[in-house]
A = this chain, B = another copy of it.
């Protein structure tokens, strides 16, 4: 597995070990991880810190020039909120671990010129499938379904 997706998957697994929702992400600037993150709904009672948002938050305040040289790696297809954050900051490329468990706003991202690459990585798929089967109510809360 690609190095950066492996780092995102480590974040997702750390989240699961904390009792959280196993989605992880890393923001990579010119080949260096500047922000790592994972979904914090359970850990912090957060409604906004999905994995991608947590990675952006942990990367700190940055300029548009920084974001435009960055790639976001996320273990799961980004939802409307996370896709909106990608567009707000003009991140030009997103690498997605898988979109079988959940298909976010990839079409919207592509229409707005973001390069979206989907790996359909088996480890990412297995992690989410196992979690969704084990904790369906928590998962549906996270994506605004119940």
Chain A interface residues toward B at CB < 8 A: 41, 45-49, 53, 56-57, 59-65, 67, 79-85, 87-90, 105, 108, 140-141, 143-146
Query: Min CB distance, A37 to chain B, in Å?
Result: 10
Contact A47 B41 (CB under 8 A): no
User: How far apart are the CA atoms of A82 and B108 in the complex, in Å?
Assistant: 15
Contact B85 A48 (CB under 8 A): yes
**A85 and chain B: residue at smallest CB distance:** B81
Residues of chain B with a CB closer than 8 A to A81's CB: 81, 84-85, 87-88
Beyond A80-B87, A88-B80, whether A45 also contacts B63 by CB under 8 A is: no
Residues of chain B with a CB closer than 8 A to A90's CB: 144
Contact A45 B60 (CB under 8 A): yes
Residues of chain B with a CB closer than 8 A to A48's CB: 48-49, 53, 56-57, 85
**A83 and chain B: residue at smallest CB distance:** B84
Cβ contacts A to B, 19 pairs, < 8 Å:
A45-B60, A47-B56, A47-B57, A48-B48, A48-B49, A48-B57, A61-B141, A63-B146, A64-B141, A64-B146, A65-B146, A67-B144, A79-B88, A80-B83, A80-B84, A81-B85, A84-B85, A88-B144, A108-B108
